Amino acid sequence: MNKIIPNLWFDHNAQEAVDFYLSIFKDGKIIRTTYYPKSQNDGLADFQQDLAGKVLTIEFEILGMRFIGINAGPHFTFSEAISLMIPCQDQTEIDYYWESLTANGGQESVCGWLKDKFGLSWQICPAHWEELNKKPGAFKKMMGMKKIIIADF
């Protein structure tokens, strides 16, 4: 069990996000789903009645790490201040995650960074990153890339 479980705040589309991640990470699974209470007597305010019985949280696992997606509204959004890094074994794996996570509205950034269609930031990097960075001019090459191309180092 993880000692720290990242809690990802979604604008009432956590189920869509989790389904998207599980379609990419084939080893992924849903651990549990919780729901908003069904009545005011269970703690919902008048303004929350439209949420009654809908998904509140989804605990899921990808690549052996647990996360919780919460349907909590538009109050907060993701930023590049935190990203999820996937160390990839080869270019094929980099290409797979890059194409999958930028699909349907994701955005490429620089140096192996991207945002998926939900705004969550990812770093898609070679697992042997430190070795590549020892090559002359590697940092400059990396700064000129969006998706990392191992052969260009």
Cβ neighbours for 125, distance < 8 A, ≥ 6 positions apart: 85, 86, 87, 88, 94, 112, 148
pLDDT band for 89, please (50, 70, 90 cuts). Answer: very high
Predicted TM-score (pTM) of this structure: 0.90
- Is 66 in the same domain as 12? yes
CATH number for the domain harbouring residue 25: 3.10.180.10
Q: Which residues pair with 62 in a beta bridge?
A: 65
pLDDT tens, 33-60?
A: 999 887 666 655 655 667 888 899 999 9
Domain residue limits at 132 = 83-152
Tens of pLDDT along 54-72? 899 999 999 999 999 999 9
Q: Say yes or no: 26 and 48 in one domain.
A: yes
- Co-location of 64 and 108 in the same domain: no
Residue 77 counted as domain residue: no
- Are 60 and 92 members of one domain? no
